[in-house]
Amino acid sequence: MNALLDAASWGLLLAGGGFCVISAIGLIRMPDFYTRMHAASVADTLGAGLILLGLMLQAGLTLVTAKLLILALLILFTTPAAAHALARAAFVRGVTPVLAPGASEPWKA
């Protein structure tokens, strides 16, 4: 049972690290602010959640698990709110997304 728990924990840790790396690549490769912000907020939230879940499996039922759960809830609630605030501030400031050639601009109608 202990080997199965370790394998599940390592799988979650590796998957979480993979999502964080994909998020970092998305920050470099995406063309504009909005898509970069989306890549960072969604993939990093999932990556951090998987990493914390893997750490919770390693910790067992201890006080450390409770602290990791509180940290996971903090990340789960603050990251989307921060991404929304950044997107709203950029939109109010006038930052426009990069559109595909021939795409219309519905917000200027």
In a domain, 96, yes or no: no
The token duo for 72 is 């996971």
**53 vs 75: CA distance, rounded Å:** 13
Q: Read off the pTM.
A: 0.82
Residue 76 resides in a domain: yes
- Percent of residues, the chain, with pLDDT higher than 70: 91
74 found inside a domain? yes
- Total structural domains within the chain: 1
Query: Mean pLDDT throughout 44-71?
Result: 94
What is the span of the domain harbouring residue 83? 2-91
25 is a domain residue: yes
77 domain-assigned: yes
Residue entry with tokens 């907020």: 41
74: how many CB neighbours lie within 10 A of its CB? Answer: 10
- Residue 103, Cβ density class (10 Å: 0-12 exposed, 13-18 middle, ≥19 buried): exposed
How many angstroms separate the CA atoms of 83 and 9, rounded?
29
